[in-house]
Amino acid sequence: MNPGIYFDTLNGIVRQKELAVISQNLSNLSTPGYKRDRVAFSRYLFSVIGNKRTDFSEGDLQPTNNPFDVAISGSEDAFFVVKTPDGKELYTRRGDFFLDKDKKLVTRNGFYVQGEKGDIIVKGDRFQINEDGNIVQNGKTIDKLKIVSLPLDKIKKYGRSLFYLTEELPVSSSSDYKIFQGYLESSNVKPVEEVAQMVNCLRNYEICKKSIQSQDETTSRLINDVGMVRV
């Protein structure tokens, strides 16, 4: 294969991947706790490789006045711990929780929010969560939100706002954070920046496409010219 066509084809594939990531970011602009992804470019021999990476920077805190909405602030690597019905442990920054029929605090996926005592049970909607994550009801601490510190290079997305550890590693409790009840952490997607990157991505994709077409036409002419040479 023509090296130029090969190089431009790979670049075009990377640009398509980048465009898909940007589109995903924009579609989650209003998703609480969503962390935007980026395509990090690196060169290998004569090609460009695009690897997807997550930006864990904090989103802004938005007041909701809903006692079941909770936000973490002060530490990018601090996460809520949740469990699936089959016991799988996952992590999230999305704190728009609610009570299920058993009065357990759950995520929008129906996963159980974890406290130091396990599944958190709240009887009624009159309760407070202080900055340390202690859940207080009728003047008594009934549990404490389980907040852990994770190695950001060892976690991957599980859906839109959940994460899982890629390796079996010990997880330590986080202390460098503050909990805000009645707030949600917004997505860290910056729409103006995303649109600008989308425009740049489309421009580069078109350049690759036109370059491939031009090289293909040149190769075809050379082949035809050689075929017309008379011995």
Domain boundaries, the chain: 3-56+189-220, 61-185
63-110 confidence digits (pLDDT tens): 999 999 999 999 999 999 999 999 999 999 999 999 999 999 999 999
pTM: predicted TM-score of the whole model, two decimal places: 0.81
Average pLDDT on 137-150 reads 96
d(CA 175, CA 177): 6
Q: Please give the helix or strand (H or E) that residue 222 lies within, else none.
A: helix 191-228
Confidence of residue 46 (pLDDT cuts 50, 70, 90): very low
Under 8 Å CB-to-CB from 112, ≥6 apart: which residues? Answer: 82, 83, 84, 85, 104, 105, 106, 119, 120
Average pLDDT on 205-216 reads 65
d(CA 191, CA 195): 6
Q: Please give the helix or strand (H or E) that residue 185 lies within, else none.
A: strand 183-185
